[in-house]
Chain A
């Protein structure tokens, strides 16, 4: 017996001849938050709807507290859900929307009223209660949908990309509020999102979905620090990953990497990334000329010219930047590769566009992938 509250075993689902979910197995303990992270079409919504009982899996079991609930209708599963479309009843007032699950539960009027006002106060929508649901702003609609789900005394809360259509600013504000809410209420929840930052920030565990399969499962830190393949590494950084290409060669003085792009240079692994010496040796790839991709996140590089560089130094031309206020994300081009590096705002004290600049990449922080398979090295 596992101690899982919710358990999925080998869930499969096809629409016609398209496999939407392929052998999904997952477990979730009470009070935990799990994120389903994946690009559109990866099967997140279908999985949530199967858990809710709104759709039926082709095979596999859903267990709650160790009991199979495959045949339980949706309203008996103790599940509340916020839909991607929010699914507000636009012809009703906010009050009536939030009341909906309570009316279905046939609660007495006074109890209902008290609950509605409590949750409305909690989500700061008290002033909207009498407003029609189609007269709300994006952020307000989102809160109402949240209130309608949370007012229900459910055991499991499902959230399907609830912030997706909001301005970035409102979105991040709601994200923090949402996490606070979750922490205060201590409810078990599953949160589907295509946004890596949301998944990282909100959850205890992340399951990365890709083409209906679980690509990687782990804590946010595990996943962010060591994405299992190159696709995920790029996805997690919003395609802001720096990638160096090369092949592993053996030399008398140790294992070396012969870089081919964006610069041609031969570097000794023990000098630049001593933590990788053993991994590369164990893999037995030394001397096989295996092609690899070395990835470094923008925050793990520097561009300040004053500092001594202990990593790989590359000279590149600055072609643009993104101003994040206290930090500047600098884009520098070398041989058709654009490197992305965070820098302090002081760099804008001079006119940097078009300037050549030294960039220092810290290879000890790098994650290395097999170029052919795309899989991370040193993953056992």
Chain B
């Protein structure tokens, strides 16, 4: 069975609140697709529209080019795994078998399919246990098994792992990923956790305030965010943004009084894309190196001077907040590099930034321009 899902010009309004605005999205067959965004961004509404649990105010939903916009949920042949499992107080076997029995599948087939699914999820040993005897992780697996056993066209998962503790979450996440490779079905996965989306998905749609900001593979989104929001939301901490001036005469880009780089071609491109002499520089905290003494920038790098404002120790890393003429940059360093550097607040430091890691954003539209 195959299915690709297409949303065309979808808008969903609840009272005065626009939950989803003019959304166009294509999810390919057999794809592990994540919809990622902060709470209240409209991701769950989108999922519910695909499931048929909400009717869009405007726009159409297509499964394999067939318009299903007004088809009720139970006729769409999709399975939804919710954030909190809803299981019946009986054995694991009965819980998994239930969706088949209610569809009038023969007893023999039920038996066979439940066993297959249990095998797939590593639940075989636990089939005859009562649901109360299971760990939270296993319960969520049963919830998943109940979806899989129906062999639906499409799986919709709404933050199914949030209630699990971190270690179980990672283990089940890995299992989910390898499961998808085996069952070869389309999965749409909604989450607010960027690491989860980056770890699981083939492609990610990043949503904010009812709008899709970007669709792409994890590293397309990480390396080339299409907007400031995406740059900030992906990565921990998110991307740094610095307002800079474009000087047409000297073909330079400046941060206050400091020249960041000089390039005729770059500046002319930037001027072409913004009719403004201001531009926002974006650079990820993990790509910046700190140095105590000024050195030659060297090929492919630029050096900017700043003052250490704040140092945060997160255990695995140090995050150093550096002030540059009223702007702030976060630098993420590993513990050894930081301890070797030996800096303290209010000290002068030099930021060494690789030129190929610098992105440019429009200060008004906040979209990436280069």
Residues of chain B lying within 8 A (CB to CB) of residue A310: none
Q: Does A338 contact B (CB under 8 A)?
A: yes
Residues 310-324 of B, flagged 1 when their CB comes within 8 A of A and 0 if not, give: 101111100101000
Q: Which of A41-49, A75-83, A171-179, A272-280 contacts B (4 or more CB under 8 A)?
A: A171-179
Contact in complex: A322, B38 (CB < 8 Å): no
Q: Does B183 contact A (CB under 8 A)?
A: no
A175 to chain B, nearest CB (A): 8
Residues of chain B lying within 8 A (CB to CB) of residue A240: 166-167
Q: Does B237 contact A (CB under 8 A)?
A: yes
With both beta carbons as reference points, the residue of chain A lying nearest to B172 in the complex is identified as A320
With both beta carbons as reference points, the residue of chain A lying nearest to B200 in the complex is identified as A323
Contact in complex: A197, B166 (CB < 8 Å): no
Contact in complex: A169, B38 (CB < 8 Å): yes
Which are the 8 A-B pairs with shortest beta-carbon distances? A320-B174, A323-B198, A201-B312, A326-B286, A323-B199, A239-B167, A325-B235, A322-B199
Residues of chain B lying within 8 A (CB to CB) of residue A179: 310, 312
Residues 222-257 of A, flagged 1 when their CB comes within 8 A of B and 0 if not, give: 001000000000001111100000000000000000
**A81→B218 CA distance, assembly (Å):** 41
Q: Does A154 contact B (CB under 8 A)?
A: no
> How big is the B interface, by class?
35 or more
Residues of chain A lying within 8 A (CB to CB) of residue B319: 176, 201
With both beta carbons as reference points, the residue of chain B lying nearest to A328 in the complex is identified as B199
**A104→B230 CA distance, assembly (Å):** 44
Q: Does A336 contact B (CB under 8 A)?
A: no
Within 8 A of A (CB), among B167-201: 167, 170-171, 173-175, 177-178, 192-195, 198-199
Within 8 A of B (CB), among A109-162: 137-138
Q: Does B57 contact A (CB under 8 A)?
A: no
- Which of B171, B238, B313, B345 is in CB contact (< 8 Å) with A201? B313
A-B contact pairs, 10 of them (CB 8 A): A169-B194, A173-B238, A176-B310, A179-B310, A201-B313, A240-B167, A299-B335, A320-B173, A322-B170, A326-B287
With both beta carbons as reference points, the residue of chain B lying nearest to A298 in the complex is identified as B316
**A172→B38 CA distance, assembly (Å):** 13
Q: Does B64 contact A (CB under 8 A)?
A: no
Contact in complex: A176, B321 (CB < 8 Å): yes
Contact in complex: A176, B237 (CB < 8 Å): yes
With A169-B238, A353-B178 as contacts: A299 and B334 at CB distance below 8 Å:
yes
Residues of chain A lying within 8 A (CB to CB) of residue B222: 325
**A325→B231 CA distance, assembly (Å):** 12
B211 to chain A, nearest CB (A): 17
With A320-B177, A326-B284 as contacts: A220 and B313 at CB distance below 8 Å:
yes
Q: Does B40 contact A (CB under 8 A)?
A: yes
Q: Does A168 contact B (CB under 8 A)?
A: yes
With A180-B310, A239-B167 as contacts: A172 and B199 at CB distance below 8 Å:
no
B344 to chain A, nearest CB (A): 12
- Which of A201, A237, A331, A345 is in CB contact (< 8 Å) with B170? A331
**A163→B303 CA distance, assembly (Å):** 36
Within 8 A of A (CB), among B261-307: 284, 286-287
List residues of B whose CB falls within 8 A of some A CB: 38-40, 165-167, 170-171, 173-175, 177-178, 192-195, 198-199, 218-219, 222, 233-238, 284, 286-287, 309-310, 312-316, 319, 321, 330, 334-335, 345
- Which of A180, A221, A238, A327 is in CB contact (< 8 Å) with B313? A221
Residues of chain A lying within 8 A (CB to CB) of residue B314: 197, 200-201
List residues of A whose CB falls within 8 A of some B CB: 137-138, 167-170, 172-173, 175-176, 179-180, 183, 196-197, 200-202, 220-221, 224, 236-240, 297-299, 319-327, 331, 338, 342, 345, 353-354
Residues of chain A lying within 8 A (CB to CB) of residue B39: 138, 167
The number of residue pairs between A and B whose CB atoms lie closer than 8 Å in the complex comes to 106
A274 to chain B, nearest CB (A): 18
- Which of B198, B310, B316 is in CB contact (< 8 Å) with A299? B316
Residues of chain B lying within 8 A (CB to CB) of residue A237: 315
**A323→B36 CA distance, assembly (Å):** 14
With both beta carbons as reference points, the residue of chain B lying nearest to A239 in the complex is identified as B167
Residues of chain A lying within 8 A (CB to CB) of residue B173: 320, 322
B311 to chain A, nearest CB (A): 9
Contact in complex: A325, B234 (CB < 8 Å): yes
A23 to chain B, nearest CB (A): 29
With A167-B39, A239-B166, A320-B171 as contacts: A180 and B309 at CB distance below 8 Å:
yes
Residues of chain A lying within 8 A (CB to CB) of residue B312: 175-176, 179, 201-202
Contact in complex: A320, B170 (CB < 8 Å): yes
Contact in complex: B195, A322 (CB < 8 Å): yes
Residues of chain A lying within 8 A (CB to CB) of residue B236: 168-169, 172, 324-325
Contact in complex: A236, B195 (CB < 8 Å): no
Residues of chain B lying within 8 A (CB to CB) of residue A224: 313, 315
Contact in complex: B177, A353 (CB < 8 Å): yes
Known contacts A322-B170, A345-B219; 9 additional CB pairs below 8 A are A172-B237, A176-B319, A183-B310, A201-B312, A320-B171, A321-B174, A324-B236, A325-B222, A353-B174
With A169-B238, A179-B310 as contacts: A325 and B198 at CB distance below 8 Å:
yes
Residues of chain B lying within 8 A (CB to CB) of residue A342: 316
**A166→B310 CA distance, assembly (Å):** 23
Residues of chain B lying within 8 A (CB to CB) of residue A331: 170-171, 174
Residues of chain A lying within 8 A (CB to CB) of residue B287: 326
